[in-house]
Structure 1
Amino acid sequence: MTQSKIWQLSATELTTLTRNGDLSAEDAVASSISRMNAVNPDLNAVVEDLSQQALERARALDHARAAGAPTGPLQGVPVTIKINVDQKGHATTNGVVALKDVIAPDDAPVVSNLQNAGAIVIGRTNTPEFSFRADTDNPLYGRTHNPWGRHISTGGSSGGAGAAVMAGIGALAHGNDIGGSLRFPAAANGAVTVKPGLGRVPAWNPSQTAERGILAQSMSVQGLITRSAADLSLSMPSLIAPDRRDPFHVPLPWRGEALDTPIKVAFTKNTFGYALHTEVEKALETARDALVDAGYQVDEVDPPDVFECGRIGYRTLMGEVLTLLKSDIQAAGSQTIQDIFEVYFQEFPPIVETELLRMLAKRSHYAREWSLFLEDYPLVLSPFLPQPFFKPDRDTEGAEGVHEVLGCAVYSYAMNFLGLPAACVPARLAELPNGPQPINVQIAARRWREDLAVDAAAAIEARVGQMCKPLWEQMSPSG
């Protein structure tokens, strides 16, 4: 592979070369930076370019390796960091103009863990205001575009991360997820991700002046968006390394105990009255067949009520947002985000006061039901969204737009309320009127068994292929 094409390598391929000394970290980073310079002006996925310090860090890692220092598991892997997480010396803007000068005093645990493993940050990626849209646009940095075309939203809130990694800007992209913010961009861009379960990845922003609400703490998780399932298996063990600044982190190894085979998978097409698009149904059937051929036992059976759990969970989150964040959104948010939140509150009437406490308590009931079900079926294969991914700004089109973007996404935010891991993987490249578009499915797993979900995603990927390859052909016929 020529120097100019190193950016196409996966993190798994890169580390094999960098750790053996067959490729320098500097060359790996330089190629990704060159790719960023070529495609980012059109995409606006990376909104803070850290090329210079990335190259300096790469040279330092190369010198240390030459001097006999041990290499990390992510040696020389170019990564991006979402702008709502602290990186020492850089602004944690969260897409909000009023926060553009909030400079982080130290690194968040995810940044420390990635860098301790040898990864190199080449840039910081875009997010919507307050990281609370399933689309990525804000008054501070503008819109991030989907590399598949401007007819598809890039997703949110980790939209910059999803667009960057699929376009070839870095092999790994950091993101986070309170209701789908890793999985929406993965689905929009044809990437692979796993939303970790509660307590799996240490989290904290040193720049924050107050602790987050209890439900935000319980539902929000840090993770990675990648081009392949293998790269999640490679990188997630580094991301989950303990950090004392998160007192509720669960220090379990990435790999759990082996399960009896065949592993049972509950398969459902239930979309609770929302229309199931034929392309999504085909993607589900392809994913099912791939798992069967890989040796899983797939039974068509519905899991516990996702609709009730998801809707109650998001209404409870909206109650916390209304109580703790509405004043900040009104003070610092654009008219667009304020209008969207007003429709959020209509779509998900906030649960407040005594009822909020009752629903926080009932969360254990839903989680228990799922734990008992997952004892028999360790994995659940379901739609992620019932329709192909929506167009940009769909959530600004009133109640109907928000309903299509979030209202139907119960399989997404239910997993956050339950605190369960859920992978999102492309299972079909659909030919739609506006052009080719990836269709992702979701694989939920037992608590703390992200590895099971990623293994299943790998089996589906082995059948379907990586979406980056047809994407790169579309972006540039020369590859």
Structure 2
Amino acid sequence: MPSRWALHEEALAAADEADRALARGDAVRPLFGVPATTKVNVDQAGCPTDDGVVEYKSRMASRDNPLVANMRASGMIIVGRTNVPAFSIGWFTDNDLHGLTRNPWNKDRTCGGSSGGAASATAAGIGAIGQGSDIAGSVRFPAYCCGLVGLRPTYGRIPRFNFTTTGRRKVSTALMSVPGSLTRTVRDARAALAAMSVGSPYDNRWVDVPLEGPPVKKPMRVAMVIDPAGRGGVAPEVAEAIRQAAGWLTDAGYIVEEIAPPEFGAVIDLWPRLAMGDTIGDAASVAEYGDDATRTWVDLCLEVFSGCGPEDMVEAMVERDRLLSLWQLFFEQRPLILTHSCAEPAFRLGRLVDVPSFQDVMRAQSTELAVPVLGLPSITVPTGVANGLPVGVQLIAGRYREDLCLEAAEEIEARAGVRTPIDPR
């Protein structure tokens, strides 16, 4: 198993070679020399794909995941691996193998999960691009917690395949989990998307679709949703961030209307119906190899969503098809949705202890559940700082319209500015 020092030396060697290439006048690749990090649940040759689980600490990868290969091919220099909750489950990045990763803005708040290590490292300036993955907000929530740009692309946009995985891909993973990026700027998110989305035959989900879609009617209409499905619990500073972003988009020439897409609540509620069949299947592995935090998460999930299971997945898939059609028609008139990424500021550590706290967190994460259900692209972009913690908004678009998310996010960023807890220069 390579030590952290071996990875350190590997990164320095790559940087030295980059310097020599510049001195020779060689042609450089798009992200030549850019420092980046990878998540410990993706294969990187010579490293364990441990997923934050003690039992998997020796599960060595002999080849790069296509996603990691794409990062290297673009010229990125991988400077390290980033932490996750055990099994990449949950909103707090802590496990018995690597320990607790803290939020660089406030050590008593979560850095998010499951790509919390990527978020904390990127916010602290350790790398410019943090590779993450998202099945229920695992890119967008950590980005929100740490004041970053978090891009979740469309299902099928970025290829991914772990050679260390011997079993079949689970239904919910195949349907909802996608790789993404965490960056300090929208420009970097755009560059990371272009680099990561190069196709691979190893992922049968990958679709060859241009990064720029057809022109949309201008001025573009944006649907603003402050309280999805009217479920409450939206913190005042979060509601104000959405209204402020709406004003900035209006200033940029968008038409912002306070209107919700069809049956937002039904889309949110589909997530457990699609995921619980797999979660129940994973319960034995978590019980045997998981840590206390992961077992608590699964136990609470099973209790709160006891009515969801494998027998409900077929009906849930039929319902998903119906709702996706309604949303796609909605995007024809309003190509973007502006809403929250999380209804609260970054959660306090130790927040998740019982059924009521689990339900509160799930309600706060409602929009982050809806997006994977329909396989849509979305982006979290910071709008400022409130009470010492980052706040921001989320933009959601129709399938393969990451370009619309990025374009609007750039307008917000131009007015909000870029803030980091630590000057990365």
After TM superposition, the score normalised by the length of structure 1 is 0.85
Aligned ranges for residues 194-233 of structure 1 at < 5 Å?
194-233=151-190
Give deviations 1:394-418, integer Å, cap 9, x for gaps: 12x1112222322331111110010
The separation in 2 between residues aligned to 1:276 and 1:247, in whole angstroms, is 39
Amino acid at match of 1:291: L
Partner of 2:198: 241
The separation in 1 between residues aligned to 2:219 and 2:277, in whole angstroms, is 42
Q: Tell whether 2:49 aligns with 1:97.
A: no
Q: Is the 8 A contact 2:120 2:146 kept in 1?
A: yes
- Residue 151 of structure 1 and its aligned partner are, at CA, apart by 2.2
Partner of 1:176: 133
- Residue 437 of structure 1 and its aligned partner are, at CA, apart by 0.7
Q: Is the 8 A contact 2:39 2:115 kept in 1?
A: yes
Identity within the alignment, %: 35
Partner of 2:223: 266
Give deviations 1:423-442, integer Å, cap 9, x for gaps: 111123112xxxx1111211
Q: Tell whether 2:71 aligns with 1:114.
A: yes
- Residue 369 of structure 1 and its aligned partner are, at CA, apart by 1.1
Amino acid at match of 2:270: I
Q: Is the 8 A contact 2:122 2:184 kept in 1?
A: yes
Partner of 2:43: 86
The separation in 1 between residues aligned to 2:418 and 2:304, in whole angstroms, is 35
Amino acid at match of 1:398: D
The separation in 1 between residues aligned to 2:365 and 2:106, in whole angstroms, is 23
Q: Is the 8 A contact 2:384 2:416 kept in 1?
A: yes
Amino acid at match of 1:316: L
What SS class does the counterpart of residue 227 from structure 2 fall into? coil
Q: Is the 8 A contact 2:273 2:313 kept in 1?
A: no
What is the count of residue pairs matched by the alignment? 421
Amino acid at match of 1:71: V
Partner of 2:391: 439
Give deviations 1:176-222, integer Å, cap 9, x for gaps: 00100001101110100111111010011011011221221110000
Please list every run of 5 or more consecutive structure 2 residues that lacks an aligned counterpart in the other structure.
none
Partner of 1:464: 416
Aligned ranges for residues 118-197 of structure 1 at < 5 Å?
118-197=75-154
Match 2:380 to one of 400, 419, 424? 424
What SS class does the counterpart of residue 132 from structure 2 fall into? strand
Amino acid at match of 1:283: A
Partner of 2:400: 448
Q: Is the 8 A contact 2:233 2:363 kept in 1?
A: no
- Residue 306 of structure 1 and its aligned partner are, at CA, apart by 2.0
Amino acid at match of 1:444: I
The separation in 1 between residues aligned to 2:232 and 2:104, in whole angstroms, is 28
- Residue 65 of structure 1 and its aligned partner are, at CA, apart by 4.0
Amino acid at match of 1:451: D
Q: Tell whether 2:365 aligns with 1:365.
A: no
Q: Is the 8 A contact 1:318 1:350 kept in 2?
A: no
Match 2:297 to one of 324, 337, 340? 340
- Residue 320 of structure 1 and its aligned partner are, at CA, apart by 1.9
Amino acid at match of 1:440: G
Moved more, 64-73 or 284-293: 64-73
- Residue 346 of structure 1 and its aligned partner are, at CA, apart by 2.2
Q: Is the 8 A contact 1:237 1:253 kept in 2?
A: no
The separation in 1 between residues aligned to 2:130 and 2:360, in whole angstroms, is 26
Q: Tell whether 2:368 aligns with 1:412.
A: yes
What SS class does the counterpart of residue 63 from structure 1 fall into? helix
Q: Is the 8 A contact 1:315 1:349 kept in 2?
A: no
The separation in 1 between residues aligned to 2:216 and 2:40, in whole angstroms, is 38
Moved more, 81-90 or 207-216: 207-216
Give deviations 1:78-137, integer Å, cap 9, x for gaps: 000010000001000100000000001210111100100000000000000000111100
Amino acid at match of 1:296: Y
Match 1:290 to one of 239, 245, 248? 248
Cα RMSD of the aligned pairs, angstroms, is 1.6
What SS class does the counterpart of residue 299 from structure 1 fall into? strand
The separation in 2 between residues aligned to 1:465 and 1:347, in whole angstroms, is 40
What SS class does the counterpart of residue 238 from structure 2 fall into? helix
Amino acid at match of 1:438: P
Amino acid at match of 2:248: A
What SS class does the counterpart of residue 393 from structure 1 fall into? coil
Compared CA separation, residues 225 and 350, structure 1 to 2 (3 A)? farther
- Residue 380 of structure 1 and its aligned partner are, at CA, apart by 0.1
Amino acid at match of 1:127: V
Partner of 1:33: none
Partner of 1:386: 343
The separation in 2 between residues aligned to 1:312 and 1:348, in whole angstroms, is 11
Amino acid at match of 1:458: E
Q: Is the 8 A contact 1:154 1:392 kept in 2?
A: no
- Residue 385 of structure 1 and its aligned partner are, at CA, apart by 1.8
The separation in 1 between residues aligned to 2:307 and 2:118, in whole angstroms, is 30
What SS class does the counterpart of residue 102 from structure 2 fall into? coil
Amino acid at match of 1:375: E
Amino acid at match of 1:424: T
Q: Is the 8 A contact 1:282 1:428 kept in 2?
A: no
The separation in 1 between residues aligned to 2:244 and 2:28, in whole angstroms, is 39
Q: Is the 8 A contact 1:277 1:387 kept in 2?
A: yes
- Residue 48 of structure 1 and its aligned partner are, at CA, apart by 4.3
